[in-house]
Amino acid sequence: MMDVADELGFMLIPETAIRGCQLQKWHETYLPGSVMELARLSRNHPSVCRYSLQNEADPAWAAILADSISTVDPSHPLVFEDNQVGHPCRIDGKKGHAFAMLHYVDYPKPSSTITGMGEFAWDWTQHSPGVQHAGGGLEEFIYYATDMRLWDISYAAGWDFINYWPNFLEGMNHDKHAWKQSCYPGNRIDSADGWHSPVMHWAERYLHPYLVLDTGLHRMNRPGSDLAHWPSVTSSYHSGDTIKRGLILFNDGLTGSTFNLTWEARWDSSEGQPVNSGTVQGIFIEPGFHKELRITLIAPQTKVDQRKLFVILKYKMGETEKFNENHVYFWIHDRPQDI
């Protein structure tokens, strides 16, 4: 498996068998030995991007394990999967250090340390009170992973792709799936076309390295929205209103730092009659970061009760278009006459 990952360019995070849910106790020989064995197996594979020292075990063990694995391989970053500390942290040993990858909890807001979320988006008790693991599915993971991008959380992992996997393979279905979570009773629809489904198209947009996000529409359209007709909820304006939209522009492609954003307002569809346009030039965004931007336009005149106004957002680095958002639209209403 690791040889194939090396050849095809997959990234792997090898993890030990040290798992708190199995109520393991500390052993001064076997536990340090297990991380050293993991490093000996994995260290010469280019697909290995980091090591996970333990999964939901005592965070106090992380320092000793970090020192132990560093004697065999000091070259890879170290993390430990944690649902006990419950906040971003770095634990230092004498030779190595590891960052917490948090589980289950509400994701933290901006932190001064490297922050990641592992095994995320499968504990949404606000949707099913009293249920420990109330799954919102792949849609919910994508939504909140994008939300975490706004807070510079460096890593997010959801188990929902495991349940969705049968939809990517011809002839597969839920019953044939070798490993699935018991906490998701419904799972996916067996006949769904995984590659071309609305949720995967949404994933491609929302997880794009050069995403341009209308934050207002993001908040209005939660995971339960109709993804085939996103946005299913949008803002309304009257003719002559000043439309102010807050955008987030991402530069997660890690090359280049200067961008231009062009917007076009068109009636009825993304290819409809143009009514207005504008360009913001020379936007500097450091690689790996994002920037807030506000665009302003006047709602055009219309003689019908309500009409769709699409605002197409074209995000360019030099002459190369990096992202095109053509789904954003608003309702424009004819302004009522004064009595």
- Phi, psi for 272 (deg, rounded to 5): -80, -170
Q: Considering the domain 212-333 in this protein, what is its CATH number?
A: 2.60.40.10
Q: Is pLDDT above 50 for 156?
A: yes
Angstrom distance (rounded) from CA 29 to CA 338 = 83
pLDDT digits (tens, 9 = 90+) for 63-112: 999 999 999 999 999 999 998 777 899 999 999 999 999 987 777 888 88
- Name residues whose C-beta falls within 8 Å of residue 135's C-beta, 6 or more positions apart in sequence: 122, 124, 160, 181, 183, 184
Predicted local confidence at residue 64, as pLDDT: 97
Any idea which of 1-5, 224-228, 296-300, 308-312 has the lowest mean pLDDT?
A: 224-228
| DSSP-derived 3-state class of residue 165 | helix
pLDDT digits (tens, 9 = 90+) for 178-218: 665 555 444 455 566 777 888 888 889 999 999 999 999 99
Query: What is the token pair recorded at 69?
Result: 């694995």
Q: Is pLDDT above 60 for 135?
A: no
Angstrom distance (rounded) from CA 327 to CA 291 = 21
Q: Find, among 157, 159, 198, 162, the residue nearest to 177 by Cα.
A: 162
pLDDT digits (tens, 9 = 90+) for 28-39: 999 999 999 999
pLDDT digits (tens, 9 = 90+) for 229-251: 889 999 999 999 999 999 999 99
Relative to beta strand 51-55, strand 155-158 is unpaired
Relative to beta strand 212-214, strand 242-251 is antiparallel
Task: Specify whether the CB–CB gap between 312 and 325 falls below 8 A.
Answer: yes
Using pLDDT thresholds of 50, 70 and 90, give the confidence band for residue 131. Answer: very low
Higher per-residue confidence, 128 vs 21: 21
Task: Specify whether the CB–CB gap between 255 and 236 falls below 8 A.
Answer: no
Residue 213 burial (10 A CB sphere; 0-12, 13-18, 19+): buried
Task: Specify whether the CB–CB gap between 174 and 190 falls below 8 A.
Answer: yes
H-helix or E-strand spanning residue 308:
strand 306-317
Domain ranges of the chain: 2-206, 212-333
Angstrom distance (rounded) from CA 81 to CA 97 = 14
Q: Could you give the dihedral angle defined by the CA atoms of residues 78, 83, 89 and 91, in that order, rounded to the nearest 10 degrees?
A: -50
Angstrom distance (rounded) from CA 329 to CA 231 = 8
